[in-house]
Structure 1
């Protein structure tokens, strides 16, 4: 049975780790981050739905009196 040559594993692992680090840094550099770090005020639009105009009561099965 042949022996497993592990002499190149360290080089392979180091090269893959370096490549992944560089790719990750390139992906992060594509995003534009705010310079001042303050939160933006988000405007939430209120939408009117037809079911909001009606009053409905939902009965829970546990709250019903079972005889």
Structure 2
């Protein structure tokens, strides 16, 4: 049975990590981030949901009289 030649594994693994690092850096560098970041509070956002407009009664099947 021939033995597995592992002499090139180190070079392959390091080159793979280097390539992935470069690709991720290029991908991240294409994004435009805003310069002026303002903190917004949660109280500014008021959402109107349909169930807040009217009162609804919820009846569970187990709570009904038998």
Shorter-chain TM band: 0.5 to 0.7
Higher helix share: 2
Unaligned residue ranges in structure 1 (runs of 5+): none
Structure 2 residue aligned with 1:26: 26
Distance 1:44 1:55 in 2: 23
Question: Taking structure 2 as the reference length, what is the TM-score of the superposition?
Answer: 0.65
Q: Does 1:57 align with 2:62?
A: no
Question: Taking structure 1 as the reference length, what is the TM-score of the superposition?
Answer: 0.64
Query: How many pairs are equivalent?
Result: 65
- Cα deviation for residue 56 of structure 1 reads 3.2
- Cα deviation for residue 30 of structure 1 reads 1.4
